[in-house]
Structure 1
Amino acid sequence: MAAGLITLMASVLLPALELGADALKFCLQISVAVTAVTLFVSALFIRRIIDDRRQIAESEQRFRRAMEDSAIGVAIVGLDGRILQTNPAFAAMLGYSRAEIEALTFFQITHPDDLQIGRETMIALKEGKIDSFHFEKRYLKKDGTPVWAQLAGSVIREDETGKPLYLVSQIEDI
């Protein structure tokens, strides 16, 4: 880019100058100036990229710590009910390893008598009728025994379109 700009400027300006040392010196000065500006702009751009990456890494670290260290269960659930991510507290509450519980759907760990409210809530969230929810329900532990829990959650939507992406749920054993 800089070389093309220098060539263009030289082709416009050189005919107006007397050929010789002065013309060469002038072209060299233009070349140095354009190169300096290009390097400066590139440095600013690279610095911005580095700062953005650092901020993203810090944000991811805060999220990870909040999720991992939470005293209550936390689950990120797909709109199809698949458990995308959970924390140790939720897995322990139901007697699963994280890998086991993340291979299930929310419906597979919900007591049969509480499935309807879960389905209705999911539909209302998808349709945009509600953005958050809060109710008591029963989950099924790995051994099949029910456990009552307080469930609160909200839908996370795409910024531009408002399209629902996934749910974030907090689950407390009661």
Structure 2
Amino acid sequence: MNTPVNSAALRQRLTTQLVAETQHVREFVTVLEEERRILTQRDVEPLFALSEKKAHYARLLQQSAHARSVLLTQAGLTNDRAGVEALLGSPETPVWQTYLTVVASARQLNEDNGRLLTDRLASNHQALAILMAHSDQPTVYGRDGSARTRPGSRLLGSY
């Protein structure tokens, strides 16, 4: 026996869910802003600790998305923007517009951080390649028995 769907109750639950999810996204944005700050500094060691926080919020957001999906399924709607707007009754609902704005900000910040990280990795790879190229030089020994990386190399300032 199917029970009738109470759209008003589901709409209220979705609104509450969106408010909570928006707060999680805002907290995630704070983590992303901290990540950006670290990525622009020389010392990136704090990224390791921050990655745990980032993973925590990613799990929270995944759980929120699942809860939203369950609500939409209960309402007999698709789990997408159209489904959310249909259950809310309007695409102009303030809680929905706030959610979309905050999510767009988080997405942009995450993409920007990804580019910063990619640039930093490329720079590190380039530096490592240069160092490795120089380390491939055969080691030879001078007349005094000291190791040299190239035949004929001398210490700076020596004659």
TM range (shorter): 0.3 to 0.5
Normalising to structure 1: TM-score of the pair?
A: 0.33
> Which one has a larger percent strand, Structure 1 or Structure 2?
1
> Which one has a larger percent helix, Structure 1 or Structure 2?
2
Larger relative contact order, structure 1 or 2 (CA cutoff 8 Å, min sep 6): 2
Q: Which has the larger radius of gyration?
A: 1
